[in-house]
Amino acid sequence: MFEMCEAIVMRTVDYGETNKIVTLFTREWGKVAAMARGAKKPSSRLSAVTQPLSYGHYVIRRSRGVGVLHQGELIDSMRALREDLFAAAYAAYIVELTDKSTEEQKRNPYLFELLLQTLQYMSEGRDLEILTFIYEMKMLAVLGIPPVLDRCARCGATEGHFSFSVKEAGFLCHRCEASDPHRFPLSPATARLLRLFFHMDLARLGSISVKESTKAELGAVLSAYYDEYAGLSLKTKRFLQQIGEWKDKLGLDGGKGTSFSL
Ligand SMILES: [Zn+2]
Q: How far is the CA of 218 from the centre of ligand 1 (A)?
A: 21
3-state secondary structure 132-198: HHHHHHHHHHHCCCCCECCCCCCCCCCCCCEEEECCCCEEEECCCHHHCCCCEECCHHHHHHHHHHH
Four-residue CA torsion sign, 38, 43, 46, 47: positive
Q: Mutual orientation of helices 109-123 and 128-142 as an angle, nearest 10°?
A: 170
Give the span between the Cα atoms of 70 and 53, in whole angstroms: 18
Give this prediction's pTM: 0.92
Q: What pLDDT is stored for residue 208 in this prediction?
A: 67
Query: How far, in Å, from the CA of 211 to the mean position of ligand 1?
Result: 27
Please report the pLDDT score of residue 238 as a whole number: 87
Residues of the chain predicted below pLDDT 70: 208, 251-262
**Residue of 155, 156, 174 whose CA lies nearest to 164:** 174
| Residue 70 CA to ligand 1 centre (angstroms) | 57
What is the CA(162)–ligand 1 centre distance, in A?
Answer: 9
Task: Return the DSSP state at 48.
Answer: G
Distance 179 CA to ligand 1 centre (A): 9
pLDDT of residue 115: 98
Cα–Cα distance between 38 and 47 in angstroms, integer? Answer: 8
> What pLDDT shows up at residue 99?
96
The span from the CA of 44 to the CA of 201, in Å, is 39
pLDDT at 254: 47
What's residue 252's pLDDT?
61
Q: What pLDDT score was predicted for residue 147?
A: 98
